[in-house]
Structure 1
Amino acid sequence: MDAFLQGLALVFNFQTLLVIIGAAIFGVFVGAVPGLTATMAVALLVPITFYMDPTPAIAAIVTTSAMAIFAGDIPGTYLNIPGTPASAAYVGESHQLARQGRARETLGTNLVCSMFGGLFGTLVLVFVSPSLAEVALKFSSFEYFWLALLGLSCSIFISIGSKTKAFLSLLVGLLLSTVGLDMMSGAPRFTFGIPDLMAGVNFIPVMIGMFAL
């Protein structure tokens, strides 16, 4: 609890709060543009935070990432194109509400849920992270395999409409993920002699293009 209070004291000062406001504006701008992810926003911010004090720098990175993830709901709501991968799960519902004239209500709901989810996740991370790190160190290839299988299965169950179509979409995604250099042998797979495909098919353009389609 003492460490938590000391952390609050470091955050709630004029300099850090000013940095948080600036980072929030930057995060909203980047997240609202389809194709520019929260990861890219943080990457653009790193050269600036490198010369800042540690506390404002961390606050800027965390704020930019959180606001960019929320701002991805803006094009998802109005254009049916998720701004960030995190917005993909509910972009269909958000766009349907926007077509009913409830876009502001939708974005407000997204903001409130994003805020509560972020705060809850932060509290869990503060109190559970030491135990979680010990469990993560014990993960082997078996646990990673079943974890990946669970994630792929969940993507089918949460989809709207036909589960068969969702399964076929999953297979298409897995097929696209095989393009590029093999992780074990380094041999090119399905590159068809095109050097640009050796790096694989980028997830973000495929996801945004498919949602737009």
Structure 2
Amino acid sequence: MDTVIKAFGLVFQFDVMIAIVASAFYGLTVGALPGLSATMATALLVPVTFYLSPIAAVATIITASAMAIFSGDIPGCLLRIPGTPASAAYTDEAYAMTRKGQAETALGICLWFSALGGIAGTLSLMLIAPLLADVALSFSTYENFWLAMLGLMCSTLVARSSPIKAIAAMLLGLLITCIGIDNPGGVPRFTFGST
């Protein structure tokens, strides 16, 4: 509990609150424009965070991303064009409510469940993150290998219609990832003399 109180003390500083409010307006604007996703909003905001303190920078990125995901519901409800990929799942239902004259209700539902999901996700992350960190720190090379194998197997299981294509795509991706700088040694691999 002491950690949470210290975290609130860091967040409720004047410069951090200004950064949160400014990035909320930014995220609201970017997310409401169809074609601009929350990821793009974050990518466009990264150069600005170089001039902020670390806490303000993290708060800026999180706020802009969350607001962009919510505001992607606005064009989805009103124009039937999802503003972000996260809004695509219920665009048809929200637009149907708008056509019946219930646009305020549709936007209210989107706002309510976006906030509820954000709060539930934050609380669950606060409870589970320390446990997951302990598990991740106890991983050795064997566990890392099998975790990577699990991810590769899951990627081939997703494409059940043509598993041969999925395996070929996975192997091609693994081959491409071998090109570049070797992680522990810093030695170029498979670059054929080009740097």
For residues 115-163 of structure 1, what are the alpha-carbon distances to aligned partners after superposition, in whole Å with 9 as ceiling and x for unaligned? 111111111111211333436964232355337747x79xxxxxxxxxx
Range moving further from structure 2, 132-141 or 17-26: 132-141
1:103 is matched with 103
Q: Which residue of 2 aligns with 1:13?
A: 13
User: How far apart are 1:112 and its partner, in Å?
Assistant: 1.2
Residue 24 (structure 1) aligns with: 24
Letter in 2 for 1:113: F
Q: Which residue of 2 aligns with 1:91?
A: 91
Identity %: 45
1:153-211 deviations in Å (ceiling 9; x for gaps): 9xxxxxxxxxxxxxxxxx7xxx9xx99xx42445xxxxxxxxxxxxxxxxxxxxxxxxx
In structure 2, the gaps of 5 or more residues are: 177-195
Partner of 1:41: 41
User: Is 1:140–2:140 an aligned residue pair?
Assistant: no
Counterpart code for 1:140: A
In our comparison, the structure showing a higher alpha carbon Rg is 2
The answer to which structure, 1 or 2, has the higher relative contact order (CA under 8 A, 6+ apart) is: 1
Counterpart Cα distance in 1 of 2:127 and 2:26 = 30
What is the root-mean-square deviation in Å for CA atoms of aligned residues?
A: 2.7
Structure 1 segments, 4+ long, off by >4 Å, are 135-138, 147-150
Q: Distance in 1 between matches of 2:152 and 2:121?
A: 22
**Equivalent residue of 1:140, what SS?**
helix
CA deviations on 1:84-107 (whole Å, 9 max, x unpaired) are 111111111111111111111111
Shift of 1:80: 1.2
In the alignment, structure 1 residue 183 sits paired with structure 2 residue 173: yes
Q: TM-score, normalised by structure 2?
A: 0.73
- What number of residue pairs does the alignment pair up? 162
Q: How does 1:55-204 map to 2 (within 5 A)?
A: 55-133=55-133, 134=135, 138=143, 139-146=147-154, 149=157, 182-185=172-175
- The equivalent of 1:201 in structure 2 is none
Q: Evaluate the alpha carbon distance shift between residue 131 and residue 81 of structure 1 in structure 2; reply closer, same or farther with a 3 A threshold.
A: same
Amino acid paired to 1:11: V
